[in-house]
Amino acid sequence: MKKKIIVLGAGLVGKAIAIDLVKKYDVSSVDFNQENLDKLKLHKDIKLIKEDLSVKGKISEIVKDYDIVVGALPGWMGYDSCKQTILAGKNMVDISFFPEDLFGLDELAKKHNVTIIADCGVAPGMGNIILGRYNKKIKVDNYECYVGGLPVKREWPYEYKAVFSPIDVIEEYTRPARYVQNSELIIREALSEPEHLQFNEVGTLEAWNSDGLRSLIKTMSNIPNMIEKTLRYPGCIEYLKVLRESGFFSYNEVDVKGKMIRPIDLTSKLLFPKWELKEGEEEFTIMRIVIEGEKKRFVYNLFDKYDIETNTTSMARTTGYTCTAAVNLLLETGFERIGVNPPEFLGEKEKNFNFLIKYLEERNVIYKLSEEDI
């Protein structure tokens, strides 16, 4: 009998996850947005469920009959969805990238004998998995991760399209960025310390500090230098800073003609239609991971484009297939670490690392490795 999987969320990435998993498993997809569910109707083997998952206790109720849960919800729903899944006694792979400390659920997961794999996307996600492998192989001195998802066509004024939850995109522009330098935790404002990097596929891109290290700060405390930066087309930092410093991203209510509104709500209403990735619009994911240690430099490069044949965005492919690889790892190979697991734990064992890399390569998501002496 096929294992039963329920995917919470049927957005761009949740859709790709369900389509990939149904090739092998019995899959249900649940979402409150009927338009999202309608996009899955062509895949008749996927069971579609319309439910409001923000209702208290709904997730615990709906996941109880499944073998494993996949979380593909917006960040603001992620922590609670993981908690409800744990209380239901179900294992889970999650990509919501919630702002709360994921280890806050570790004790609860262990109490219920549950395995949670969190942050299991592209970044955080695959970058962590790669670092987890090298941290077991060598003494790592330096880790750098540069990553971005961008439209192929650059259109004024933003030259950007949201390839995941737009509210989570704005969070990247406001949440303070943490990185590690000389074994000290450094905190800078988002969008700080810009630099330009050259990529053969797209030319020059702009990189700036974002808060992407997350669990690595705690789990890889032996590594003295670690940083993650977001990639965009050159020029984006200036207009984002203007919006941020003018208060457009603020959650503090202001009085507008006698009505109290949050600026972030107005900004979201205005920007999201302009940032929406249209059907068939091509985009790409670009990523560079640099790991240095023991006089060696290891560089992983990823350049992945929108799949025209399957109408799947690159961000859905690179994020979603890392997630589905972890689901397969959990169900088929017996990853048995109880509690909350950040993705770096998946890469610690060579056989797990090779399984994940091979799974992605079979879906044409390819991380190219180069090595050199330093």
Which has the closest alpha carbon to 137: 370, 353, 356, 365? Answer: 353
Mean of pLDDT values over 121-127: 95
Asked if 3 contacts 67 with a C-beta cutoff of 8 angstroms, the reply is yes
Q: Report d(CA 326, CA 328) in Å as an integer.
A: 5
Write the CA distances from 72 to 133, 185, 320, integer angstroms.
25, 30, 9
> 3-state DSSP call for residue 198?
strand
Please state whether beta strands 91-94 and 115-117 pair in parallel, antiparallel, or not at all (unpaired).
Answer: parallel
Largest CA distance in the chain: 65
Give the predicted TM-score (pTM) of the model: 0.93
pLDDT at position 245: 94
Mean of pLDDT values over 92-118: 96
Asked if 237 contacts 194 with a C-beta cutoff of 8 angstroms, the reply is yes
Please check the confidence at residue 164 and state whether its pLDDT lies above 70.
Answer: no
CATH number at residue 164: 3.30.360.10
Tell me whether residue 243 is in a domain. yes
Count of domains forming the chain: 2
Q: What are the residues facing 116 on neighbouring strands?
A: 92, 340
Contacts of 372 (CB under 8 A, 6+ apart): 296, 297, 299
Q: Calculate Rg over the CA atoms of the chain.
A: 20
Asked if 213 contacts 254 with a C-beta cutoff of 8 angstroms, the reply is no
Please state whether beta strands 254-256 and 283-293 pair in parallel, antiparallel, or not at all (unpaired).
Answer: unpaired
What are the φ and ψ backbone dihedral angles of 9, each rounded to 5 degrees?
Answer: 105, 130
- Place 272 in a pLDDT band, splitting at 50, 70 and 90: confident
- Verify that 198 and 235 share a domain, yes or no: yes
pLDDT at position 169: 82
Tell me whether residue 32 is in a domain. yes
- Verify that 266 and 161 share a domain, yes or no: yes
Sign of CA dihedral 267, 55, 39, 70: positive
Q: Which domain holds residue 151?
A: 126-305
Tell me whether residue 250 is in a domain. yes
- Verify that 273 and 141 share a domain, yes or no: yes
Structure tokens at 14: 């949740």
pLDDT at position 198: 96
